[in-house]
Each structure stands twice: as C-alpha cells, then as structure tokens.
A and B are shown apart, each in its own frame.
Chain A
C-alpha cells in the first residue's frame, strides 16, 4: 500500500470553488490537459461527467453532484478503451467510482497511463428518482445532509458504506476533520506526489485529524453494515427467499447496463446461449407444468452476481436503475462483501492486487477441496 501524505490548503471560498481553483491552476501549469468532472447540464436538471478542455468551463463544475446519473468509471472507460491518448487527464469522482475505475484498469478496459484519479470524501448520493421528484428542493436537502454528515436520504447502500473516504486513486480531497475553511489535499501515489511537486505543494502536513475522523465514521458505518447484511441475509437467504427477492425482475438488464464493472461487449445473458428453440421451451413447460416468460430472470441475477461479485464496489447504480424497485444493490453488495472476503480482497483497493478471478494460487480455498475426505 502506498504511503499517504497530505497538505492543508485554505478553502475560504468553499470546497467546490477551492477544488475548481486547484484544477484550473493545474491546467494552467500544464499538469493536466483536460479534466473529467461532473457538471450540471444546461438542459434540464441532469448532471453528467464532462471532459473539459477549456478550463474556463470548470466554473460550472460540481465535483459532488447530488445524484450519480452515470457511474464515473463507466463514463471514463470509453475514453481510454482503445489505449491511452496523448492528453493528460484528471478525473474527479467519488471513491466508489475511482475503485470501479481501478477494477476496470485491471481488466484492460481503462488505461491509467495518462490519467490521474482524484477522489473526494463522499457523503453519499441521492437515489435518482428521489432527486427528480423535486430537483431544486432535493439539491438543497443534499447540501445540508452533506454538511451535517446525515445519510438518511442517501441511497440504501450509501447509508451502510464504510468506504466513503477510501483512498485508492492518486489524489484525495479530504473534507472531513478539516479545520474551518481548510481542506486536505492527500497524495496516495508517485503520480500524486509528482503533481504536488509540479504545483509547488509540499505534502508535509499532519493529516491525523482527517484519518481519525475517517476511521471513526468508517467504524460506525461498518457496524451498521454488518447488521444490515445480517438482517438481509436472513431475508433473502435460501433458495425460496432468493427467488422471491428477484421475483419482480423482468430481465430488462438495466442493472447490468449501468454497472461499471459489467463491461462485456455482449453480455452472456443477451447472447444466443440463452435463446432456445421453442421445442426446448415446450419441453421445459411440459416437465414443470408451466413456464414463466420472460424466462431465466433468477438465472440472470445469479449469473451476473457470479461474474462481477469480486469487483463490485457497492456504488448502488444498479438499484437506482432497476425498473422494478428490487433492492439489487443491497443484495449484490452483501454477497460481494462475502466473496471478496474469501480472498481477503477489496475491489479497487490497489492497482497492484490482481482480481482473485484471474489470480491462480496453488494453495487457496482448501476447505472446498476433498469434500468427501
């Protein structure tokens, strides 16, 4: 793990303006050629990640938007899918989005060579439908909630997120535990240190107050998380409960499409392999008495879980997108904790850690071997 170093910078103009200042300066000095940052779009009440080359446009940027229309990692994945470009880009995103980006980098979907990942302490994010019910009011509610560290209105998975300040990118902006009108700039990698260097920033300040605050919030959340998962396991554990939990699923595949870690060009569950001859459907109906259409919804859920669980970052994008209001993120996130736990793996923690799916070790999961011994 990298050594984390930080500096305290003044933030008299507010966190948002301070961050934008920082980025503008960096662009001026040529440290970055472009920045990917959320902005409020001129049309309607939506936000989107915008690749900004003209630094003056940064004035309108909102580093911590109240909703996550597009998961950040998904947004930046198209930029470097076919290899790095010549531009040096900085991406500002929430920790879970950064983590997803790192997972995608391990899978060859994002090239981080000329990309700097900047994260920020995250207060959570509103479910999109909630936000859209009254955008103006909810924007204010979100800002207040963020200031007061109150997560009641955030996504269910945000409410039990213990990694809301996890640092796995290059630079992190620490708002927690900072004295009034200051903010921490924390470097987590050589890239981060080089950038600080180029900007004339010396990373020698004591960041204990940030680390302590982060630790206490994380521990509290962990307790909530454990309990929530325990309760959820009872609710959806076992075949019958599981089938019931996904009984509303209509195979729209929205969850898969918005998931940053589901990166396949053609999902297995959209391919020929799940399209059968009518005789085969008839036979199945014969055997069981009847057959539900659209078929294989539970299969899709379990299959997707199996494919991406080790990389799941519990961002909650899937639940937001579910057209049938199934608590997908809560269920998948609970399972992800367990599968990743089997390998002592945390998705997106470090670029150097290979995903257990593709790392072969001779001695692992020995408790699964020799079931008959």
Chain B
C-alpha cells in the first residue's frame, strides 16, 4: 500500500513559532516523496487542534502521522488517542520534540530551524518503518494467595476478604499468629498482644472468604499477574496437595532472630541465664520470670545490637522492645535492677521518646557501651564492656537478655525461588523501589509485607499489609481485563542459539527456555519492554517492538545526514 505520511507542526505560541522558522521547515519537508501534507497549526493539543488532526487524517487518507511539537511525556498519549479516534493505528505515529529539545535550548533561530528540520526528518525516517501494534486483553483472577499466617498475613487476608475477595492463607506451622503470639504486651501503649492477635485470628477463622491452610507450604506458584497457578502441599507428612488459581500473591513470611551462637562473646548457649529476647518473651508470657534455679532474678542486663555488626543493619525495634522488657521486669519483680547496654538509641516514633523518658528511672539504667562481653565470674554473670570514654568496666547481673538482629525467615530463599522474586543482600525480599514502591516487587502481582520486607514493628507491618491490599484491590478488579505491555520483546526462533544470555538479564522473569527447541521464548504478557534482552543478545535474535533496528537506524541516519 502506498505510504501517505501527514506532518503537522505545532506553533505552541511563542515557544516554537518565535524560535523556529516554521515555514522554512515546511518547505524543507514538502519535497519528500511519501509525505502527502505538511501543515502548521497554532496549538495541536487544544480541542480544536485535536479535531483538526482527526479531520485531516480522514481527509488526507493518511497511513502514517508525524507531529512536531512538545515532549512525548506531555502529549504522546493525547495524539495516540487522536489516531485511535480516526481509525489510524496509534503506533503508526511519531512525535518529534522540537520544543524542549530544540526551541527551548537553541538561541540562534537559524540553528534552531536547521535542527528542527533534522528532527522532523528523523521522525519521518523512523515512522516509515513502524508497524501496527495491537493492545491485548487477558482475563484476570481476583483471588489472592497470602503466604504466612503471622500478623501481617492475617491483616492482609482480613483486609482483602472484607472486600469480598477470596483469600487462600498458607501457614507452615500448625497455628496462626506468628511471632506476636509469644508477646504479652506490645510496646506501643503496652497493650495486650494476645488481645490484638486473638481477635484477628478469631475474625479470620469466622470469615467465609478466607480459606486457611495450616501445616502447609507453597510448592509451586507459576504464572503472572492475574493468572498464577498455585500448588500447596502439607508439611506434616500427610498426603494430598491442593491446586488453585489466584491473581496476586502476598508474601508475609516474617522473620527470625539472629542466632547468638554465632557471636560467642555473649556466652549464649554456654552460660546459664543468658536468653534471647524471644526466649524472654516466652518466659514472661508463661507467667513467671525465673532463673535456672527457679528463683526470681534481682538484676537483669539487656544487651542491645547483638549481631548488628555481623548483619550490617539496625533492626529498628530492639531498642523499643528492650524498653518494654524493662517495664515487664519493673512491674513484676519488686526492687529489680535493670541495665540496658546500648550503642545508639533508636527511638524514631512520635511517642517513643516519651516511652523512653517514662521507662528510664531509678531502677532502669542506660549505659552506652562498646565491645560487650559476657563471662562467668564468681559464679555470676559478669558483663564486661567499654564505656563512652573507652574505659573498661564491668557489671554483675543475674540474668542477661540479648536483643539479636532480625533476619528473614529461614525459608525465605525457598519462597523467593518458588515465586521468582529476588532477595536483597541481607536476605529480605527486594522491593520494586526503595522509596516509592516498597510493597511491590519487580514481578507484577507479587507483594511483600511485614518483616519479610525488612525489620519493622507491628504497626508498620499492619500498614504494609493494608497497603498490599490497597494495591491489589485497585489493580486487580473482578471482571476487569488486564492490558499487558504492547511494546514487548520478540525472539526470532531461527536466529536464537539458546545461549540464555537474555534470560540472565531479564529482571522480570519474562523469558523462558524451550528445552525441546533449545531456544528462549518471551512471555509477552509479563514482558515490560525494557529492552535488556535486545541489548544483550549476541546474535541479534531478540528485537523490541516499536524499537526495531531499522526504525532506530533510519531515524539516526536522517538526523545526521
């Protein structure tokens, strides 16, 4: 079919008209053989402008459209809509930026005009090689899989279920509740932790929209946003696996504590009455805080930052729960002496300073210390340390509670592998963007919440769970079809040599390997069109729709002629 390219130049007020001799540009373009019409217009993005373009496309019977105006980020979408409204495939269009990239940055009018001519010719050179591309629509499943039945997983499930979504909650242990079931109180307000968690567990058990699988693990989770196929199996040697489909997955696998066995200087596992914070919580919940000999301790040392240097990050909640421990002790054991050994006090919440001020007192002391070591001396636990001035000191205590760093759950790597998401250096699941997208991952449809994403307190875990629910409720709507990326990558079957270089550079898991044909294949629904594979492919078998070699080559050729 004969090519009929229509070129329209926007004056954009003084922006373009004053800086570029548009008539000269028009004269330069008219002689081009397949350019049917070149016109200028006052403001193409206005209502009149759009109407004018739609009429022109039909009247001139255009096969391709080139507009010379502002930046694509401003109005590419606008003009693509104009094409759609006039039955011209919106990808047979190219926008040449002669405003931000020419008029706004070139002082000399002659130079600006020459550059504008090149830019428009380049756009024309490119658009000649454009192909029609069609939007795709796929069905989506609005149900959700939540992995992990701790407070974060429970909260996410309840939030989603209250919107009538079907939720499958998978928990590897025999009961729900996770770590919070071990606490007597939470440090925000010293409220009853069991009230909080039991109420939620009760809500979940009575919610018809939530199907709970305890003693279970996810074996497989294959697919993509809107269409995941999940397989669950039991962990307690019972037979039977369950299969179902969901549209989104929430990872709420929680955390575990750094093992102080790795830091022998604290005497954990060797000396009596040296406990981790979790062991202390459990002891406190059981009702009686006692030493190994059954008596109540008269003095307790709480050591902050255990394993902090080894792990390389601050676990955020330990200073606060150490304060909570001080309160437990002071409230339950009269005349007890509590000493907190810390390096930097991390109390960033708005009510935390107050909590600290109210906890510190006659019987609760805070010592800034370094190089802490626990040994047995005179049949007692002796804490050796260096104070702020690097002077060596020591203190006796009946009991020592260690506040170890928070690590991701033991099976985090397994879950990451099954769902195909990445882990950061520290082992926590990697979010899509540290600042503005901490709940999503680079796999669309998989979200990370709570301590699985990074150490945090209950309130922030709950917020993240609700945030994941928000993301799912807004992007995965029952009945609404999903429109995957149009400008995806394609791999030529005949030229692919199966070296798998593309697979190793794809951050989205969009490329799979066909073992039978020994070639790589792009899943066009997951592909986000980033182009990494195209750049990496040594044989040029991979190409990107709408950024094909010829399109770019001709654009450059015209630009530098």
Residues of A in contact with B (beta carbons under 8 Å apart): 81-83, 107-109, 263-268, 271, 273, 280, 283, 307, 354, 357-360
Interface segment out of the listed B101-109, B357-365, B374-382, B536-544: B536-544
User: B518 and A263: CB pair below 8 A?
Assistant: no
| A271-B540, A273-B549, A358-B536 given; A266·B504 CB < 8 A | no
B559 contacts which chain A residues (CB < 8 A)? none
Complex Cα–Cα for A272 and B405 (A): 58
| 5 cross-chain pairs, A with B, having the tightest CB-CB distances, nearest first | A264-B539, A107-B499, A358-B504, A108-B498, A358-B501
Q: Which residue of B lies closest to A262 (CB)?
A: B538
Complex Cα–Cα for A132 and B549 (A): 44
Q: Which residue of A lies closest to B502 (CB)?
A: A358
Which of B494, B536, B539 is the one whose CB lies under 8 Å from A268?
B539
User: B500 and A108: CB pair below 8 A?
Assistant: yes
Within residues 504 to 522 of chain B, which ones have a CB less than 8 A from any CB in chain A? 504-505, 515, 518
Complex Cα–Cα for A355 and B518 (A): 20
User: A265 and B504: CB pair below 8 A?
Assistant: no
Q: List 20 A-B contacts (CB under 8 A).
A: A83-B515, A108-B499, A108-B518, A264-B538, A264-B539, A265-B494, A265-B496, A265-B539, A265-B541, A266-B494, A266-B495, A268-B538, A271-B540, A283-B557, A307-B538, A354-B504, A358-B501, A359-B504, A360-B504, A360-B505
B538 contacts which chain A residues (CB < 8 A)? 264, 268, 307, 357
Q: Is B285 close to A, CB under 8 A? A: no
Q: Is B462 close to A, CB under 8 A? A: no
Within residues 86 to 130 of chain B, which ones have a CB less than 8 A from any CB in chain A? none
Min C-beta distance of A203 to chain B, whole Å: 34
B518 contacts which chain A residues (CB < 8 A)? 81-83, 108
Q: Which residue of A lies closest to B520 (CB)?
A: A108
Per-residue interface assignment for chain B, residues 267 to 310, with 1 indicating a CB less than 8 Å from any chain A CB and 0 otherwise: 00000000000000000000000000000000000000000000
Q: Is B497 close to A, CB under 8 A? A: yes
Complex Cα–Cα for A82 and B498 (A): 10
Which of B495, B498, B557 is the one whose CB lies under 8 Å from A280?
B557
Per-residue interface assignment for chain B, residues 75 to 86, with 1 indicating a CB less than 8 Å from any chain A CB and 0 otherwise: 000000000000
Can you name 10 extra interface pairs (CB under 8 A) apart from A107-B499, A265-B539, A266-B495? Answer: A107-B501, A264-B497, A265-B494, A265-B496, A266-B539, A268-B538, A273-B553, A283-B557, A307-B538, A359-B504
Min C-beta distance of B499 to chain A, whole Å: 4
A360 contacts which chain B residues (CB < 8 A)? 504-505
Which one of B505, B515, B518 has the highest number of Cβ atoms from chain A below 10 Å of its Cβ? B518
Complex Cα–Cα for A271 and B505 (A): 24
Which one of B500, B501, B540, B561 has the highest number of Cβ atoms from chain A below 10 Å of its Cβ? B540
Q: Which residue of B lies closest to A271 (CB)?
A: B540
Which of A263, A271, A283 is the one whose CB lies under 8 Å from B497?
A263
A108 contacts which chain B residues (CB < 8 A)? 497-500, 518
Min C-beta distance of A310 to chain B, whole Å: 11
B540 contacts which chain A residues (CB < 8 A)? 266, 268, 271, 273
Min C-beta distance of B507 to chain A, whole Å: 9
User: B495 and A263: CB pair below 8 A?
Assistant: no
Complex Cα–Cα for A307 and B539 (A): 9
B504 contacts which chain A residues (CB < 8 A)? 354, 358-360
Min C-beta distance of A364 to chain B, whole Å: 15
B497 contacts which chain A residues (CB < 8 A)? 107-109, 263-265
A109 contacts which chain B residues (CB < 8 A)? 497-499
Min C-beta distance of B129 to chain A, whole Å: 12
Kindly count the residue-residue contacts between A and B in the assembled complex, taking CB atoms under 8 Å apart. 57
Q: Which residue of A lies closest to B507 (CB)?
A: A360
Which of A263, A268, A273, A280 is the one whose CB lies under 8 Å from B499?
A263
Complex Cα–Cα for A146 and B484 (A): 64
Q: Which residue of B lies closest to A263 (CB)?
A: B497
A263 contacts which chain B residues (CB < 8 A)? 497, 499
Complex Cα–Cα for A83 and B540 (A): 23
A82 contacts which chain B residues (CB < 8 A)? 518
Q: Which residue of B lies closest to A106 (CB)?
A: B499
Complex Cα–Cα for A39 and B410 (A): 56
User: A265 and B495: CB pair below 8 A?
Assistant: yes
Min C-beta distance of B503 to chain A, whole Å: 9
Complex Cα–Cα for A283 and B561 (A): 8
Which one of B494, B495, B504, B539 has the highest number of Cβ atoms from chain A below 10 Å of its Cβ? B539
B549 contacts which chain A residues (CB < 8 A)? 273
User: A357 and B501: CB pair below 8 A?
Assistant: yes
Complex Cα–Cα for A358 and B499 (A): 10
Complex Cα–Cα for A81 and B495 (A): 14
Q: Which residue of B lies closest to A286 (CB)?
A: B561
Min C-beta distance of B552 to chain A, whole Å: 11
A267 contacts which chain B residues (CB < 8 A)? 539
Q: Which residue of A lies closest to B501 (CB)?
A: A358
Complex Cα–Cα for A268 and B505 (A): 20
Min C-beta distance of A107 to chain B, whole Å: 4
Complex Cα–Cα for A264 and B518 (A): 13
Min C-beta distance of A118 to chain B, whole Å: 25
A283 contacts which chain B residues (CB < 8 A)? 557, 561
Complex Cα–Cα for A354 and B500 (A): 12
Complex Cα–Cα for A280 and B540 (A): 22
Min C-beta distance of B59 to chain A, whole Å: 31
Complex Cα–Cα for A359 and B494 (A): 25
Min C-beta distance of A291 to chain B, whole Å: 15
Complex Cα–Cα for A351 and B365 (A): 58
Complex Cα–Cα for A265 and B517 (A): 14
Complex Cα–Cα for A280 and B554 (A): 9
Complex Cα–Cα for A278 and B553 (A): 15
Min C-beta distance of A275 to chain B, whole Å: 11
Complex Cα–Cα for A268 and B543 (A): 13
Complex Cα–Cα for A108 and B494 (A): 16
Per-residue interface assignment for chain B, residues 547 to 561, with 1 indicating a CB less than 8 Å from any chain A CB and 0 otherwise: 001000100010001
B561 contacts which chain A residues (CB < 8 A)? 283
Complex Cα–Cα for A81 and B519 (A): 11
B505 contacts which chain A residues (CB < 8 A)? 358, 360
Min C-beta distance of B32 to chain A, whole Å: 13
Complex Cα–Cα for A178 and B42 (A): 89
A107 contacts which chain B residues (CB < 8 A)? 497, 499-501
Complex Cα–Cα for A263 and B504 (A): 18
Min C-beta distance of B323 to chain A, whole Å: 36
Per-residue interface assignment for chain B, residues 208 to 251, with 1 indicating a CB less than 8 Å from any chain A CB and 0 otherwise: 00000000000000000000000000000000000000000000
Min C-beta distance of B312 to chain A, whole Å: 14
Q: Which residue of A lies closest to B554 (CB)?
A: A280
B541 contacts which chain A residues (CB < 8 A)? 265
A359 contacts which chain B residues (CB < 8 A)? 504
Q: Which residue of A lies closest to B553 (CB)?
A: A273
A280 contacts which chain B residues (CB < 8 A)? 557
B498 contacts which chain A residues (CB < 8 A)? 108-109
Complex Cα–Cα for A365 and B397 (A): 51
Within residues 477 to 502 of chain B, which ones have a CB less than 8 A from any CB in chain A? 494-501
Q: Which residue of A lies closest to B492 (CB)?
A: A266
Min C-beta distance of B452 to chain A, whole Å: 22
Complex Cα–Cα for A268 and B540 (A): 6
Q: Which residue of A lies closest to B504 (CB)?
A: A358
Min C-beta distance of A55 to chain B, whole Å: 31
Which one of B504, B536, B538, B553 has the highest number of Cβ atoms from chain A below 10 Å of its Cβ? B538
Complex Cα–Cα for A107 and B499 (A): 4
A358 contacts which chain B residues (CB < 8 A)? 500-501, 504-505, 536
A81 contacts which chain B residues (CB < 8 A)? 518
Min C-beta distance of A171 to chain B, whole Å: 27
Min C-beta distance of B502 to chain A, whole Å: 9
Min C-beta distance of B394 to chain A, whole Å: 41
Complex Cα–Cα for A179 and B561 (A): 71
Min C-beta distance of A101 to chain B, whole Å: 15
Min C-beta distance of A221 to chain B, whole Å: 31
Complex Cα–Cα for A354 and B505 (A): 13
Complex Cα–Cα for A82 and B549 (A): 29
Q: Which residue of A lies closest to B518 (CB)?
A: A82
Complex Cα–Cα for A118 and B314 (A): 52
Min C-beta distance of A351 to chain B, whole Å: 15
